[in-house]
């Protein structure tokens, strides 16, 4: 799901949308997110909202050389579904990479949300048209 947020509100927007989605689903759901969402408070809020967070672990070293401690532990990573969520998340990132490399998403020439959204949609349509022959062959 895509929403209009800035970098400071992304986790909050994610929590609100996933909480509403879990409520309408009526059962526990999973959500794949990148390592920017690997914070203890975000993971705790998702778990309290009946959402299993499949967040990429952020265990890399900090600038000072200390090891980061991921909020995602063995409870989540040991399951087969975690690996599946991570591979699906990587597939989605390929769409944005294609749009930046071959489409017009690297630097927009438009002003305003409606025009940028239309350009983004045009890039997605072009990506789908290119993928159709591969999908039909499969």
pLDDT tens-place string over residues 46-93: 999 999 888 888 887 888 888 888 888 777 778 888 878 888 887 878
Q: Give the number of domains in the chain.
A: 2
130 neighbors 136 (Cβ within 8 angstroms): no
Q: Per the domain annotation, does 97 fall within a domain?
A: no
76 in the same domain as 110: no
pLDDT tens-place string over residues 1-23: 455 555 557 888 889 999 999 99
DSSP 38: -
86 neighbors 34 (Cβ within 8 angstroms): no
Residue identified by tokens 């998340």 is 89
Q: How many Å is the maximal CA-CA distance in the chain?
A: 50
Q: Per the domain annotation, does 39 fall within a domain?
A: yes
76 in the same domain as 8: yes
- Sorted by sequence, the CB contacts under 8 Å of residue 46 that are 6+ apart come out as 15, 18, 31, 52, 53
Closest CA to 75 of 108, 118, 46: 46
**Which residue range(s) make up the domain with 9?**
1-92
């Amino acid at each position: 799901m895509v929403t209009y947020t800035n970098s400071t509100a992304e986790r909050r927007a994610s929590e609100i949308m996933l909480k509403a989605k879990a409520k309408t689903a009526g059962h526990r759901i999973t959500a794949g997110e990148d390592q920017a969402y690997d914070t203890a408070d975000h993971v705790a809020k998702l778990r309290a909202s009946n959402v299993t967070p499949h967040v990429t672990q952020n265990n890399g070293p900090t600038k000072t050389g200390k090891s980061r401690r991921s909020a995602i532990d063995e409870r989540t990573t040991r399951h087969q579904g975690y690996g599946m969520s991570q591979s699906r998340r990587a597939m989605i990132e390929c769409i944005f990479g294609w749009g930046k490399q071959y489409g017009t998403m690297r630097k927009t020439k438009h002003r305003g949300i409606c025009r940028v959204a239309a350009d983004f949609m045009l890039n997605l349509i072009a990506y789908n048209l290119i993928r159709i022959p591969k999908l039909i062959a499969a």
